[in-house]
Amino acid sequence: PLSGVSLLAQPPGGQVALGDPLVLSCTVAMGTGPRSFSWHRGGSGAPLGTGPRLELQHVGDKDSGHYHCRVSDGDSVAESVPLNVTVL
């Protein structure tokens, strides 16, 4: 099973200036097999992106919120702790 899913943000802490880029990275400490990633904000059902990184080139006011990544290895699914992104 998957474990140790964590989310890292650039800039650190998830505080980003309006118009600046935001990069979120998802890592998995343990798990086997091919992994698929999806990115979500708040309660939105549709994924914002797939892959281990989510890049927002120019953040806007609407980009504030809680982001998390979901990882699947085909047998199990794990999610990161949500990260609160604040656009300044």
pLDDT tens readout for residues 31-54 = 777 899 999 998 767 899 999 999
pLDDT tens readout for residues 12-32 = 989 999 999 999 999 999 877
* pLDDT score recorded for residue 1: 77
pLDDT tens readout for residues 2-12 = 889 999 999 99
Domains of the chain, first to last: 3-87 (2.60.40.10)
Q: Is 38 helix (H, G, I), strand (E, B) or coil?
A: strand
- The Cα 73–Cα 35 span in angstroms is 4
* pLDDT score recorded for residue 3: 86
* pLDDT score recorded for residue 30: 82
Which two structure tokens, joined as six digits, stand for 46? Answer: 């549709």
